Amino acid sequence: MNVLKDKVVLLTGGTEGIGWECTLAYRRAGACLCIVSNDRGSIARASAALNDDRVLLVEADVADAGAVEAAVAACIARFGRLDAIHNNAGISHPSKAVHETTSAEWDRLFEVNVKSIYHTTRAGLPHLKASRGSILNTGSLVGEIGQEIHAAYSATKGAVAALTKSMALDYAPFGIRVNAVAPAGVLTPMLRSWSLEQPDPSSAESYLNGIHALGYCPEGDVIADACLFLLSDLARFITGCILPVSGGAELGYRRVLKS
């Protein structure tokens, strides 16, 4: 279904993991894409794989306000409009308790996972007002229920959930919808890095399968399908929603990863 036909979507972190699956889903749905990433290698791989004039790849750090403004300007220069922003870029390192987390690590997590939404919104809002567009944030189930030895990351995702709801209220008068997806485990490079930081990495796979009521840890395509729905007109009366895409993990997620 071409549910995003002729829509222009700015997608951060769109060259790996969930973001890459969203890139593929949005393209199949007919969207033009401005993909923002700070990883030059993954940008090169994405460019070679896509080879599509409907896709603009921009190298930028989403924690840098000036770089984000330049990315939005490049998007408008290329496509002439902006219909949606998907704030997907994020980091999860380090996997530590609060007292073990350095100030620099704490700040970087919040700059990338939370303040980047501030940057994209400030830069893109005038264009979204013109298109009566939408904003989608990639959150996490841990933002609601917490996660052991992952305090700062969980805090950023809790902030994303609260921010999503506040933005939905602020921008509803302009016809702009704001929602978020909240995955549990998803088999991405970031999750595999997290697994290696655990007390017993060898048990991570069985743990990740076990926390989901449906019995397995999914790939990023299941999240991309939910994101596609929320950005499309099929979700035209949904705003302020934090949608769990979690295989029922919230029903029993507080299991301990044993050392």
Q: List the catalytic residues.
A: 153
CA proximity to 76, closest of 133, 118, 115: 133
Q: How many helices (H) and strands (E) does the chain have?
A: 10, 7
Assess contact for 10 and 120: CB atoms under 8 A: yes
Taking the C-alpha atoms of residue 148 and residue 122, their distance in angstroms, rounded to an integer, is 33
Taking the C-alpha atoms of residue 168 and residue 238, their distance in angstroms, rounded to an integer, is 10
Tokens representing residue 154 in the block: 């969980």
Taking the C-alpha atoms of residue 187 and residue 179, their distance in angstroms, rounded to an integer, is 23
Residue 46 CA: distances (Å) to CA of 43, 82, 128, 162: 5, 21, 26, 32
The SS3 assignment for 244 reads strand
CA proximity to 114, closest of 166, 155, 169: 155
Q: Which residues pair with 116 in a beta bridge?
A: none
Strands 84-87 and 8-12: parallel
Dihedral over alpha carbons 143, 222, 76, 72 (to 10 degrees) = 30
- C-alpha triplet 19, 143, 97: angle, nearest 5°: 105
DSSP conformation class of 4: T
The SS3 assignment for 157 reads helix
